[in-house]
Structure 1
Amino acid sequence: MNDRKPIIELKNVSVCYGQGKTNEIHALKEIDLNIYEGEYIVFFGPSGCGKSTLLYTIAGLERATAGSVIVNNKNIREFDTEEMIDFYRTTIGMVFQAFYLVPHLSAKDNMMLSKMFSGVSPKEREGRADELMAKFGITPYSGRKPSMMSGGQQQRTAIARALMNDPEIILADEPVGNLDSKNSEIVLELLSEINKKEKKTVIQVTHNPKDIHYADRVFYMKDGMVERVVANTDAGKSIASGSKEMSEFEKLSEANPNLSSTQIYAKLMMRNLLLPFDLDTEQKIESVIARYIKNEISRSELVRYLDDPKEGAGLYSQKAKRVAELIDDSTREVEAIKEAKKNHVDQKDFEFSEAAIIRKHLLDHYIGVLSLGQIKKLDYGIGARIAGQISSTEMRDLLDLPEGEGGAGLNRSTAKRFCKEIELVISK
């Protein structure tokens, strides 16, 4: 279990425009999230999904209609004007897509402006500005006004300005949205460096899937809600929940950032069917699975759509029934896991219970008998995979390894099948 205290915590946060009116709009809907000190977080999603509204709510620039916005153990919704000003000066630094540099001031004066009202001497302001300009390679442009600078130079100036007061948190709203690919990479590398070397918490909003590999965790958003949160092991750092191996669900999420959780799960379930289909048939089956998961169609309709050669997947009767049985098995297993989770508060107890349930499911479909030692190894492997201590490949190797060498002693094909089913279940 994670014992670290979040630096940012949102509890049941909603933002509604025109509340109570016929044209009311819910920009954010009951958001719950934790962000930990030193994380690089990305809010990702299409235009209009609420990601910028969420960022501005954390910044205090957008007032939440309901819920708590807690930063450093203080609910900023309860701040008065003076407390809010102090929050802007000391806790957060903002970086915007449009730069928002004062047009008639030089780059250096733009930077010093943010420190002018903090009671700091002109000499100290200049020293801090010179330090940051040198760091970000913009010293040659210090006397230039924004109109005489490129987009990349303006954004580097804006980032330096955000750091003038040495805030704990950097909030970046589409920071490379107006930049070319070369300058985009420079700016994102700067944000990454600030995060890694200066240990700043960075939260970036983006709609571009190319940007998400910088993040420790990606919050996928849709229709004002966080659909799923995916840890990015490629970021190369331990995050608050601990360093974990990515699940197959997380890998598919990263490869298909614009798909919903239900579509990702349908794709994962499709992989688990272990039957050869062409691409067109696969897509049709995934679509039917997604509708079945969301309870949009009944069990009989599921079989009919799988069977129908015109409107459905065209599997024909026997194969359609077999695929429906596999889908039902996986769905029942997920429900059993959810029920176990409700009844086990302690994480270790839950992991053991979940491992036992998954093992029972696997052996119900296994022709043969396992020894007590093999069952113990299977339970150990499942528990370790649930906890993210081993990868799916390491899990398969453990099941395949002979008992005399410390493994479960299953054959390769059984180990591979078990691993696919395990990944499918723990993804939910």
Structure 2
Amino acid sequence: MAKSIITTQEVEVTYNLGKSNEFKALRNINVEIMAREYVIFFGPSGCGKSTLLYSIFGVLPPSGGTVYVKGDAIYDYDPFELVQFQRQTMGIMYQQFNLIPSLTVLDNVALPLIFAGIPQAKRERKAMELLDRFYISHVAHKLPTNLSGGQQQRVSVARSLVTDPEILIADEPVGNLDSVSAEAVMNTLNSINQEDRKTILLVTHDAKHLPYAHRVFYLKDGRMDRIVANPEKEQVKKLRPGETIVTELEQAQRIYPYDTPAMIRVKSLLNYLTQSISFDQITRIQQVAEYAIEGKLSREAFHLFLKKPQAEGGVGLRPEYADELAERLDRILHESQDIIRFRKAHGSEPGVTDVAKMDIADDIATHLVRERGVELSAAAFQHLRASVESRVGGYIDKEEFKRQLNLAVEEGGAGLDPYLTHEVAWYLEKLIAQGVAEIRVQSKRAHNLEIMKAEAEHEAKKQEASARARQERAAHSRLWRFFHRGKRHKKGVPEEA
């Protein structure tokens, strides 16, 4: 049976107590965390999640209440005892890595063991084992500044585990990483929980990390708003039969993590009234739609996933509805390419691409008309095309675009009724969102390639300078040997064999 490893009783933290700028960061916090559990403290900036984390870690004494770790009230320890307890029981990861730039990777990982007085051979062996586990042993003798962000955070993970703590604390550990590195670090933490059976306490404001946790502790304005168990993971904290019931609200909270329980209930009803798929199916679609949008999953594979029964890991949609969804996704991604083409032409030299922009705006207007089944006169279509050009060019906002569509044709509008105006504008916004997002991705990718190229050139220059320095040292050494051989020869000293 799982035992509690961390308990807080009515914990409060007040900054600047008794002063005019007094601020209560935590209010009456009561939590119980089980050994080997993975929990996430979640909420917006300023909600108190990091404050709670550091109170549990032992570096932020509460203004009221008690923090128990492994049954001990940790703030009853004297400072020396508390440091010893932290060293043996808890490891910590930070968003900023906090590696010492003048020490090698190996020494950074071994640093806690140096403070503990562990012999050099033993601590370096332990550090190297962890570096090898996280696939970074090849950089053991490099300085942290020569590593990527993802590599530096894996060094931080290794350092936090070098004393073999029971509890690993992570404060926004992937906040400074790109998506690929962030996913790798999050998978590493999950492995540490599942395979090493460590208790994980993680702070984040990013909802996509919530599925990793057994339970999510939602904080708001310094209070514990609610605690939600992950229905997809076997719980460490066992619940009595009938003590709780998992509903679709838990799935909805994953989609809308910042909404209150009352708003989640509203969304649950609106989902039933306006959509033909459940929150569970929406969550499943989200899991693979990202790959389809990024071109990492074929249309056929996405289509099969939509039709695959839920019992086999799919979405379980009716075949005809799956066909419709796959076709609509394919169409909107294809048509959003015109947004990309227009924006790129729009950023070119004035006057050179006006004809190209008009042609692309014409294509986009055609997409809108076909998608919503609208029949327009030639004059109305030309007005729609002009409004599309202004909206995609960024000269007018969505509301002005809708106003122009709603105007009579004689007044320069498209003559659409309010309902069609809303539908056409809605679809155009979807195209713009996808196209602009892809432009940003392409721009970031190009920027990253430039950085990589600059880094490679810098590294090549360093290698060239290093090789030159070695050659100069070798030449100097040869001259030195030649000079001293000459001196020994003059003195009649025989040369060494």
Q: TM above 0.5, one fold?
A: yes
Deviations 1:125-154 (A, max 9, x none): 011011101000110110111111110010
**Aligned 8 A contact 2:219 2:225 in 1:** yes
Q: How far did 1:245 drift?
A: 6.0
Matched to 2:169, the amino acid is L
The question of 1:40 aligning with 2:38 is answered yes
Question: Equivalent residue for 1:137?
Answer: 135
Question: Equivalent residue for 1:423?
Answer: none
Q: How far did 1:250 drift?
A: 1.8
Q: Secondary structure at the match of 1:7?
A: strand
Question: Equivalent residue for 1:83?
Answer: 81
Question: Equivalent residue for 1:127?
Answer: 125
**TM-score normalised by L of structure 1:** 0.61
Question: Equivalent residue for 1:367?
Answer: none
Question: Equivalent residue for 1:95?
Answer: 93
**Aligned 8 A contact 2:2 2:236 in 1:** no
Question: Equivalent residue for 1:182?
Answer: 180
**Aligned 8 A contact 2:39 2:215 in 1:** yes
Deviations 1:364-419 (A, max 9, x none): xxxxxxxxxxxxxxxxxxxxxxxxxxxxxxxxxxxxxxxxxxxxxxxxxxxxxxxx
Q: Secondary structure at the match of 1:116?
A: helix
Which structure has more relative contact order (CA 8 Å, sep 6+)? It is 1
Question: Equivalent residue for 1:253?
Answer: 253
Matched to 1:155, the amino acid is Q
Match of 2:146 among 145, 148, 165: 148
Identity of aligned residues (%): 42
Matches within 5 A, 1:393-408: none
Distance 1:117 1:21 in 2: 38
Question: Equivalent residue for 1:10?
Answer: 8
Q: Secondary structure at the match of 1:35?
A: strand
Q: Secondary structure at the match of 1:238?
A: coil
**TM-score normalised by L of structure 2:** 0.53
Distance 1:253 1:103 in 2: 41
**Aligned 8 A contact 1:13 1:69 in 2:** yes
The question of 1:239 aligning with 2:227 is answered no
**Aligned 8 A contact 1:233 1:245 in 2:** no
Q: Secondary structure at the match of 1:115?
A: helix
Distance 2:97 2:103 in 1: 13
**Aligned 8 A contact 2:39 2:216 in 1:** yes
**Aligned 8 A contact 2:231 2:250 in 1:** no
Q: How far did 1:84 drift?
A: 0.9
**Aligned 8 A contact 2:47 2:220 in 1:** yes
Question: Equivalent residue for 1:28?
Answer: 26
Q: Which runs of 5+ in 2 are unaligned?
A: 276-497
Structural RMSD (CA): 1.9
Match of 1:60 among 58, 63, 68: 58
Q: How far did 1:177 drift?
A: 0.2
Q: Secondary structure at the match of 1:204?
A: strand
Q: Which runs of 5+ in 1 are unaligned?
A: 279-428
**Aligned 8 A contact 1:227 1:261 in 2:** no
Deviations 1:86-108 (A, max 9, x none): 12210000000000001100110
User: Could you say which structure has the higher helix fraction?
Assistant: 2
Q: Which range moved further: 250-259 or 167-176? A: 250-259
Distance 1:90 1:153 in 2: 25
* Count of aligned pairs: 272
Match of 1:215 among 197, 213, 216: 213
Matched to 2:88, the amino acid is T
Q: Secondary structure at the match of 2:218?
A: strand
Distance 1:23 1:263 in 2: 33
Distance 1:26 1:131 in 2: 44
Distance 1:30 1:261 in 2: 20
**Aligned 8 A contact 1:111 1:161 in 2:** yes
